[in-house]
Structure 1
């Protein structure tokens, strides 16, 4: 068998070779070249679903007209399509309880951006979620015209 590679590194044809029936070294080298790329694909596919599920944790929120407050949150993400996730969050500080919704888009493996809506306080803004390498911790940062904040969440 003989494998031919194009200039871009793609396998373009496979033809049987004549002779002893042994596997030619060129074909083996071609497979060795392609193997690292094949190993990358499952990792990316797995990260696409790493966000879905329930998370909880705490962080801080800074209101533009007030002090910084500690806030605890429970967040649920549900996968709506290959790269889009719906978000529902319940958060509480010593002075407020908040229920928010939103939608995130996976912009690269383990990184999601989108918008949130906090209807009871008429606040909308941008949110960014980054999942740490272990897949069990995430950092959430958000900003709006009324303030900003950051949370660290762990999988529940």
Structure 2
């Protein structure tokens, strides 16, 4: 071992005097960061899923779509198509919802944030096309929810029932529409 520098460099995987390859280092760093990110999201998702199973909104997370009917204020009825997205959090006690529906002459984009505490529901809602918003209050659990939505010049009752991958939503109001009845299924 007459050349200790050459020996140590060979053990470290380098030749004496060689410079590290920036491209190789970049890809190695990228692989490590990707692995760390995937591991983080897997741990976070598994933790969230186990907590979400205990609250009243358990089993609602995901993307839903379907159709139904809307009865307008003039009494006419139209077919309506809808898409919904639900994000469940706070141990299954929090729900962020986005619901978009359209018929031949009517469309609405409803978003809501709801919290559940001991069977009582409260939160906020907004409708982006008409730029209106308000509060939600109601009761629910076990897949059945009854909520009143109120805002300036507007009130509506909302009944929502979820059974597995099927959901029904009925909205009754005294505004531009009287009744909307929707059947959704999870994708």
TM superposition score normalised by structure 1: 0.58
Structure 1 unaligned segments of length 5 or more: list them: 1-43
Structure (1 or 2) with the larger CA radius of gyration: 2
Structure 1 counterpart of 2:102, from 48, 72, 92: 92
- Per the alignment, do residues 139 and 92 of structure 1 end up closer, same or farther by CA in structure 2, a change over 3 Å counting? same
In structure 1, what is the Cα distance between the partners aligned to 2:155 and 2:96? 15
In structure 2, what is the Cα distance between the partners aligned to 1:62 and 1:98? 14
C-alpha RMSD of matched pairs (Å):
2.8
- Per the alignment, do residues 46 and 114 of structure 1 end up closer, same or farther by CA in structure 2, a change over 3 Å counting? closer
Structure 2 counterpart of 1:130, from 161, 165, 170: 161
Q: Within 5 Å, which residues of 2 pair with 1:1-156?
A: 45=54, 48-81=57-90, 82-104=92-114, 105=121, 107-115=140-148, 124-132=155-163, 135-146=164-175, 147-156=178-187
Alignment partner of 1:45: what SS?
coil
C-alpha offsets along residues 105-129 of structure 1, whole Å, 9 cap, x if unaligned? 47121112335589xxx85522121
Bigger helix fraction: 2
Contact 1:55 1:74 in 2 (8 A): yes
Contact 1:102 1:117 in 2 (8 A): no
Question: Aligned residues, how many?
Answer: 109
In structure 1, what is the Cα distance between the partners aligned to 2:160 and 2:55? 17
Contact 2:56 2:141 in 1 (8 A): no
Structure 2 unaligned segments of length 5 or more: list them: 1-52, 115-120, 122-138
Q: Post-superposition shift, 1:137? A: 0.5
Structure-2 residue corresponding to 1:7: none
Q: Post-superposition shift, 1:88? A: 0.9
Contact 1:113 1:128 in 2 (8 A): yes
In structure 2, what is the Cα distance between the partners aligned to 1:56 and 1:140? 12
TM superposition score normalised by structure 2: 0.49
